[in-house]
Amino acid sequence: MKIIDYPQFEEKVFQKVLSNGLTVTLVPKNGFHKTYANFTVNYGSVDSSVISADNKIIHKPDGVAHFLEHKLFEKENYDAFELFGKLGADSNAYTSYTKTSYLFSTVGNVRECLETLLDFVQLPYFTDESVEKEKGIIAQEIMMYNDDYNWRLYNGIIENLYPNSPLSKDIAGTVESIQKISIHDLYACYETFYHPKNMNLLVVGAINPDEIIEWIEKNQQNKNFSLFQKIAHEKSLINEEYEIIPYRMLEVDTKRPKVAVGIRGNGNLPAGRMGLIYKVALNLGFYLLMGESSEAFNDLYDTGVIDDSFDYDISMGRGYHFCIISGETNNAEKLTSEIIKLIKVAPEKLSKSEKEFQLTKKEFIGRQIQSMNSLEGIANRYEGSLFDNAMSFDTVEILKKLTLIDILKAMEYFIEENNMSVYQVLPKEEI
């Protein structure tokens, strides 16, 4: 097992790639009660196609990855969710654009929980009847999100940035698309993507790494996996046939307008750790530009254009990266134009921000260390293969080495003339 030592933080990370290809990362945390495990497959809502035996690309209905996530818990003789409950543990799962994650957190019965996690994810069992029943539940879930205007805003801006690409589809699919999902679709996607080579397991908390790796290996030795087949991962999610939709809006029954400005990264995401450096640099760049201590934020705040809901978020995954700047406002027009203006002057503004940059670096380093207080904080910052298994401990080193030039280069690479879009959720006009 590879050991990566971080003496400054009194932390160690243990890593091993098992013979079946599964990447295991272990982070023991002294003094903690809980153990948190996250079993992730490099497969999400955008991976909507599989390759058939005769090498044809077959498109599956939208929402299969998320549907699979729901259905894997259910087994012939048991329900994994219930089993975790009986062990006194909490379990959960979530699907994103490019990943599906299954997790548990527990204080006791760590071995039983680990085995339950590995087994329920690696031993699929679907029936027509349970697939039909799940459709009602997922339809309710989709409808619930429909009532959430922040969700509508987010989805709206993503659809603008990536028209017709798989990213523009809701992760859960639509009430209509999920009706088309069959047991056959579930098995086809499962067989394609849920291979140990395409997965990673992270365990963090009150653990002994030697013991944990032994348990995991024993469990894996009892299972046979077919050869890893070709995956129809979407290479790039930028659909060049369709240009960015510059503007759309939605009128709903609300009192306060909401604005989102999206920026689509058109260049490729740098590979491995370089990707993480790029992400950190962009985060810092946007913070300098419009974070809480920036001039722009304070001007807009004091003049009543924005409030504490104003935020920016940089998202990166396999094949895509974008930034969403959003907030509630009483003046949607003003907020929109101010954000766009700010992005346009970014290089000039940032080049004069050496003093602020040094201060922000200090702040980011401190925040990164704060995040090590929480098992979830450590787990959520782990992106698996995307950033070459980097941990939050590595991010501190990246921050220390970062220069203002790096920030400028990253921002220049990211921001282009025509890669911006606006989406607004506005109050319905009174009739």
Q: Which C-beta is closer to other proteins: that of 372 or that of 415?
A: 372
* DSSP state, residue 223: -
Minimum CB separation from other proteins for residue 209, in Å? 19
User: Residue 267, Cα to own-chain centre: how many angstroms?
Assistant: 19
Backbone phi, psi, residue 241, to 5°: -70, -25
Q: Is 233 in the site for other proteins (CB under 8 A)?
A: no
Q: Which of 1, 3, 123, 137 binds other proteins (CB under 8 A)?
A: 137
d(CA 334, CA 320): 29
Q: Which among 62-70, 102-110, 331-339, 412-420 is the span making contact with other proteins, rule CB under 8 A?
A: 102-110
d(CA 190, CA 222): 19
427: buried, middle or exposed (CB in 10 Å: 19+, 13-18, 0-12)?
Answer: middle
Q: Which of 11, 69, 134, 234 is catalytic?
A: 69
Q: CB neighbours of 344 closer than 8 A, spacing ≥ 6?
A: none
Query: Total residues contacting other proteins (rule CB under 8 A)?
Result: 63
Q: Which C-beta is closer to other proteins: that of 144 or that of 271?
A: 144
Q: Is 421 in the site for other proteins (CB under 8 A)?
A: no
Backbone phi, psi, residue 76, to 5°: -60, -45
Q: Is 354 in the site for other proteins (CB under 8 A)?
A: no
Q: Which of 23, 48, 105, 155 binds other proteins (CB under 8 A)?
A: 105
Is 69 part of the annotated catalytic residue set?
Answer: yes
Q: Taking the CB of residue 411, how many other CB atoms lie within 10 A of it? A: 22
Whether 404 and 350 have beta carbons less than 8 Å apart is answered as yes
Q: Which of 118, 372, 391, 420 binds other proteins (CB under 8 A)?
A: 372
Cα distances (angstroms) measured from residue 146 to each of 143, 202, 248:
5, 33, 17
Minimum CB separation from other proteins for residue 353, in Å? 13
d(CA 367, CA 361): 10
Nearest CA to 379 out of 109, 116, 102, 111 is that of: 102
d(CA 173, CA 186): 14
Q: Is 256 in the site for other proteins (CB under 8 A)?
A: yes
Q: What is the footprint of other proteins within residues 257-316 (CB under 8 A)? A: 292-295, 298, 301-302, 304, 307-308
Place of tokens 């890669």: 419
Cα distances (angstroms) measured from residue 345 to each of 290, 351, 393, 417, 426:
12, 10, 33, 12, 27
Minimum CB separation from other proteins for residue 178, in Å? 13
Minimum CB separation from other proteins for residue 231, in Å? 31
Q: What is the footprint of other proteins within residues 187-226 (CB under 8 A)? A: 205
Q: Which of 4, 12, 17, 34 binds other proteins (CB under 8 A)?
A: 34
Q: CB neighbours of 275 closer than 8 A, spacing ≥ 6?
A: 269, 316, 386, 387
Binding mask 374-403 for other proteins (x = CB under 8 A): xx----------------------------
Minimum CB separation from other proteins for residue 345, in Å? 18
Binding mask 141-180 for other proteins (x = CB under 8 A): x-xx-xxxx-------------------------------
Amino acid symbol at 394 = D
Helices vs. strands in the chain: H and E counts, helices first: 16, 14
Q: Which among 157-165, 185-193, 246-254, 331-339 is the span making contact with other proteins, rule CB under 8 A?
A: 246-254
As annotated, the active-site residues are 69
Contacting residues toward other proteins, per CB under 8 A? 8-10, 30-34, 81-82, 85-90, 105-108, 133, 136-137, 140-141, 143-144, 146-149, 205, 252-256, 292-295, 298, 301-302, 304, 307-308, 328, 330, 359-360, 362-367, 369-370, 372-375
